[in-house]
Amino acid sequence: MPRLRTILAAGVAGVALIALYPLGRSLARDSDLQDFAQIERGRKLATSADCVACHTRNDGGKPFAGGRPIETPFGTIVSPNITPDAETGIGRWSDAEFDNAVRHGVRRDGARLYPAMPYAYYTKMSRDDVKAIRAYLATVAPVRNAVEPNQLPFPFSIRWSMHAWDWLFFTPGEFKPDPAKSAAWNRGAFLVTGPGHCGACHTPKNFLGADKTSSALQGSPVQGWFAPNITGDKTRGVGAMSVEEIVALLKTGHNSVTSVAGPMGEEVADSSSHFSDDDLKSIATYLQTVPGGGDKPQAPVAQSDPQMQAGQAIYRDTCAACHGLDGKGVPHLFPSLAKAPQAHAPDATSGIRVVLSGVRSVATDKEPSAPAMPSFGWQLNDAQVAAVLTYIRNSWGGAAPAVSAGDVGKQRTDLANRDSQGARISATQGDRK
């Protein structure tokens, strides 16, 4: 919903864009702008790859014009402009240069990209796939927006260090279907491990930020959230959800047990809600076969534990009105804390964040409500938040490590240093107006 000021600004910018337009169009490339089929294929792949999420500012930026700070464990990288603008975008890039960046992590000037750009996943796409994405990107409005992408602190600011990283962790190569598996499974595997780059958030990382491929999709901290386990594990992953439930979650943002928010909310809004149902079914089919961690089930914290007792009392006062005394919530509206995997994740980061800051789920065409939970950070102290989360995590058949007041305090401090969009304030200094 554009506010008036935005509309005015957009109007002025629109005139400027039209003036720039022919310039963006005049530059050489070997993908064919008349080829509807290629452009359409590229649009779908770009949606699968969710290019727009990182390459668009989330405070009203122009699509693909870059400038969004991407938080990494090593500092902040700002996404570049990938509109066809000749000076500040990729208008002058050849298709080969574009392919080299997307699938091999090599910039036009030969420098290595940082793996915040998920080329380690995109390498699974074919050259034709990437050419199609290029063809599509060449049709979007060119935007003049110069971005200084590298704002990492020393020593990570030294790009040639990425040669070593790539040598250690990057395995280039297109996706190879497994003939023993169904077409749906192979399609799902391609989408998840390729353009969908699910593991970029959901796979645990080593100390250099590379995927621990042996525990793929088993959950990982990301940008102040915990991207949960999305393997076929029945308790920690999505194994207990039917294919239809997983499809509903990716399509609408909500299903009978859980809802998405935070970075996954953006993913659903920008990307998976636009996938075909067949692609979503394929993703679900594949995810259910991904092995979980095989960790031994842990014993729940005893009901008699003082933290559990306090937590139950707080839960009844402050949570039960929406989530129910039985923790079951209301399907598609209030998540079931009894069944949502995130509510019992080994890492409580997301739970703490939601309780402290509140959260709004995503709005999609199919389910526009975008229900929101209020913040409790002003009302509950660290020990109380820890108690109620410990209770939620260890009730209704669930079991997960207790949360301490210290855990909550740490996150309270972290959240105090984030802006309303959830970005670290230090990460955006000098960048935001």
Partner 1 sequence: MATRLPKKDVVIIGLGWTGSILAHELTDAGLDVIAIERGPWREMATDYPPNYAQDELRYHIRHELFLRPDQTTFTFRNKMDQTALPIRKWGAFMPPNGVGGGGVHWNAETWRFLPSDFTLKTHLTQRYGADFLPQDTTIQDWGVTYEDLEPHYDQFEYLCGTCGTAGNLNGKIQDGGNPFEGARSRPYPNPPQKQGFGHMLWAKAAAELGYKPFPQPSGNMSRPYVNPLGVRQGPCTFCGYCEWFGCGNYSKASPQTTILPVLVRKSNFSVRDNSEVTRIDRDASGKRATGVTFVDTSGNEWEQPADLVILCAYAMFNVQLLLLSGIGEPYDPAANTGVVGRNFTHQAMSSVDGYFDKAKFNFNPFIASGAIGMCIDDFNGDNFDHGPHGFVGGGYLAQAQTNGRPIQTAPVPKGTPKWGAEWKKNVADYYLSNLKGGSIHGSMYSYRDVYLDLDPTYKDRFGRPLMRMTIDFHDNELKAAAFMTDKYAEIVKAMGAKIVQKSPRKGPYDIRTYQTTHLNGGAVMGADRKTSALNRYLQSWDVSNLFVMGASAFPQNAGYNPTGTVGALAFWAAKAIREQYLKNPGPLVDA
Give me the residues that bind partner 1 (CB under 8 A), please.
Answer: 1-4, 7-8, 11, 318, 321-322, 330-334, 358, 360, 363, 365-376, 379
Decide whether 332 or 412 has the Cβ nearer to partner 1: 332
Distance CA(302)–CA(59), nearest Å, equals 45
> At closest approach, how far in Å is the CB of 253 from partner 1?
12
Q: Which residues contact 19 (CB under 8 A, 6 or more apart)?
A: none
By the 10 Å C-beta count (0-12 exposed, 13-18 middle, 19+ buried), 31 is classed as buried
| List of residues 6+ apart from 142 with CB closer than 8 A | 17, 20, 21, 23, 24, 25, 83, 84, 85, 86, 89, 91
Could you count the other beta carbons within 10 Å of the beta carbon of residue 158?
Answer: 10
Return d(Cα 90, Cα 97) in angstroms, integer: 10
Nearest-approach distance from CB 6 to partner 1, in angstroms = 9
Q: How far is the CB of 190 from partner 1 (least distance, A)?
A: 31
* CB-nearer residue toward partner 1: 93 or 334: 334
Is there a contact between 363 and 422 (Cβ–Cβ < 8 Å)? no
Q: How far is the CB of 177 from partner 1 (least distance, A)?
A: 37
Q: Are the CB atoms for 389 and 407 separated by under 8 Å? A: no
CB of residue 416 vs partner 1: minimum separation in angstroms?
18
> Minimum distance from CB of 338 to partner 1 (Å)?
16
Alpha helices, H only, 64-206: 95-104, 119-122, 127-137, 161-169, 183-193, 199-202
* Shorter beta-carbon distance to partner 1: residue 172 or 368: 368
Q: Which residues of 232-250 are buried (b: 16+ CB within 10 A; e: fewer)?
A: bbebbbbbebebebbbbbb
CB of 102 or CB of 314, closer to partner 1: 314
User: Toward partner 1, which CB reaches closer, 2 or 177?
Assistant: 2
The nearer residue to partner 1, 8 or 425, going by C-beta atoms, is 8
